[in-house]
Amino acid sequence: MPSNLENLTKQLSDTVGNYVSNADASEQREQILELAKAIRAEVETPTEKVQEYLTLIMEMPAVRLFMEWDVFSEIPDSPGGISYAELAAKVDAEELLLKRLAGVLVAKGILKQIGKDHVGHTKFSPIFMDKKGIAWWFQFFLYDQGFVNHHWPSYFAKYGRKEPTNPKLSPVSFAYGKEGKSYWEILEGRSLQDFIIGMDTMTRLVPWKETLPFSWFVENKHLVSPDAALVVDVGGNRGEALKAIREEQDLPADRLVLQDRREVIEQVDLDDPPELRGMKRMAHDFFKPQLVKGALAYFLKRIIHDWPDDSARVILGHLRDAMGPESRILLYERIATNPPSLDIARSDLTMMNLASKERTEDDWNQLLHSVGLVIVKIWRTKETPQSTVIECKKRNEL
Cα(320)–Cα(17) distance, rounded to whole angstroms? 52
CA distances to 107, 118, 145, 288 from 191, rounded to whole Å, are 31, 34, 12, 25
Tell me the β-bridge partners of 322: none
Greatest extent of the chain over all pairs of C-alpha atoms, in Å: 73
- 349-362 b/e with 16+ CB inside 10 Å = b? ebbbbbbbbbbbee
Cα(367)–Cα(334) distance, rounded to whole angstroms? 14
Based on the residue annotation, tell me whether 369 is a catalytic residue of this protein. Answer: no
Rg (CA), the chain: 24
Q: With contact defined as beta carbons under 8 Å apart, do 203 and 301 qualify?
A: yes
Cα(276)–Cα(278) distance, rounded to whole angstroms? 6
Look at strands 280-283 and 297-301 and give their pairing.
unpaired
Q: With contact defined as beta carbons under 8 Å apart, do 255 and 232 qualify?
A: no
Cα(235)–Cα(243) distance, rounded to whole angstroms? 14
* Of 120, 302, 64, 119, the residue nearest 203 (C-alpha): 302
Cα(358)–Cα(360) distance, rounded to whole angstroms? 7
**Catalytic residue from among 121, 284, 305, 318:** 305
Known catalytic residues?
305
